[in-house]
Amino acid sequence: MGLHIENICIDSTSPRETAEFWAAALQWDMAQGDGGESDDDEVALAPPAGSDGPGAFCELLFLRVPERKAGKNRLHLCLRPQDQDAEVSRLEALGAHRVDVGQGSEVGWVVMADPEGNEFCVLRTP
């Protein structure tokens, strides 16, 4: 195939802090930026070396923007844990919090937001 996703960009007023949350949440590594170095305006995360099975993914790139997030995300990550309750608790300890985006109480996922306010879902355990 001639086209692939290189990275998913996530706007942030504090890219380094947001990237540090996601690095801990996903257990991913800080990666080098296109210029050969990461700085506080552009911080990349990559899956650990050798990650080529389920969950292998492109980089997440956190970019500095001047404005805070407003409104619901138009794109979000869905995470599939081995133990949903344990992961929700771990993510809360890292600084995430539960949010209501109108999902109701009968769904099999938990909607959360990272410290920057970006929503993501923690899916039911398979």
Q: Could you list the pLDDT tens digit for every one of the 126 residues in the chain? A: 578 888 999 999 999 999 999 999 999 998 855 444 447 899 999 988 877 655 567 899 999 999 999 888 889 999 999 999 999 999 999 999 999 999 998 999 999 999 999 999 999 988
Q: Decide: 61 and 23 in contact? Cβ < 8 Å.
A: no
Q: 12 burial class (0-12, 13-18, 19+ CB within 10 angstroms)?
A: buried
Q: Where do the domains of the chain lie, and which CATH numbers do they carry?
A: 1-67 (3.10.180.10), 75-126 (3.10.180.10)
Chain position carrying tokens 């209501």: 100
Supply the pTM of this predicted model. 0.85
Which residues fall within 8 angstroms of residue 63, CB to CB, at 6 or more apart?
9, 10, 11, 12, 15, 41, 42
Around Cβ 42, how many Cβ atoms within 10 Å? 18
